[in-house]
Homo-oligomer: A and B are copies of this chain.
Amino acid sequence: MKPAAVECKHCPLRALGAFSENTPEEICFIQSLKRGEIGIAAGAAIIAEQSRTSDLFTLLSGWAFRFRSLRDGRRQILNFLLPGDLIGLQEQLTGDSPYGVEALTAVRLCLFQRNRLWDLFRHHPGLAYDVTWLAAHEELIVDENLVTVGRRSAQERVAMLLIHLFKRAESVGLKRGDWVPFPITQQHIADALGLSLVHTNRTLRGLARLGLHEFSNNQLRLINPATMQRLADYYAVPTHGRPLI
C-alpha cells in the first residue's frame, strides 16, 4: 500500500539540477532526519490553522498553498508551494501554527522531526545556512505577493500570478512543451490576489481575449510572455541553485 520511501541520495528532485549540491555527509545526515513519507489527497489539510505540529515537511511532488483566514471566513492565500519547498518553518517553536497549509493536488511529503532541527544546527552549519536561506527566500516571495496585492491593478495582479507560477513550475521540471500543469481554481486565484471570484474571472477572460495566455486540460500556456511581463512589471527573482533539505 504505502510506496517505499525514496532514499535522499536518489531523491528525484536532486536530479533536476535546480538545487544546490550537498556533500555525501550532508545527504546522509538529511537521510537520518527523515522520518518517512506520507501522501495526502487533493483538497486535504496538511497543517490546520491554529494547530500544533511536531513535524517539518518537504514537498516531494504535487502542489499546495499556505493561507490565513479571518473569523468571518475571508481567506488570504499567502503563497503557493511547489516541489522542493520546505513547509512549517515559519511557526513559532512554542506555539500554534498561525496559518494553514492545504493540498491542491495529491501530494507526497517528506517528514522531518522538528525537534531534531537543533541537531542540524549543531552538527551541520552548512545545512543550517541552507534552512535560513530557504526562510529568507520564502519571505521574498511573500514580499512580492504583498506588492502585487497592495499596488497592482486587477489585470496586473492576474498577469503577475500567471507568470510567477509558470516560471516556478518550469524551474522544477514541470514544463511539457509550452505547457505547465495548473491545478488552481479561479477561487484560489481570487484568494491569492485579494480579488472577488467574479472579477477574477472577468480579468482572466480579458487577458485570454488579448491573446496572452491559454488554458486547456488544467494546463497553462503563456502565448505572449513578453507582453505579459511588461503588463505586470514583472521582475524575476532568481531561484536557481536554491538549497534542498
Using a CB–CB distance below 8 Å, which chain A residues touch chain B? 68, 70-72, 74-76, 78, 89-93, 95, 98-99, 118, 121-122, 125-126, 128-129, 131-133, 135-140, 142-147, 149-152, 193-194, 233, 235, 237-238
Contacts and interface: CB of A to CB of B under 8 A. Distances in A.
Given A70-B151, A98-B140, A121-B129, 17 more contacts: A68-B144, A70-B152, A70-B233, A71-B233, A74-B151, A76-B150, A78-B143, A78-B147, A89-B132, A89-B136, A121-B132, A122-B125, A135-B136, A146-B146, A149-B149, A149-B150, A149-B194
Contacts of A99: 143
Nearest to A131: B132
Copies of this chain assembled into the complex: 2
Nearest to A67: B147
A123 to B, nearest CB: 8
Nearest to A127: B121
Contact of A143 (B90, B126, B129): B90
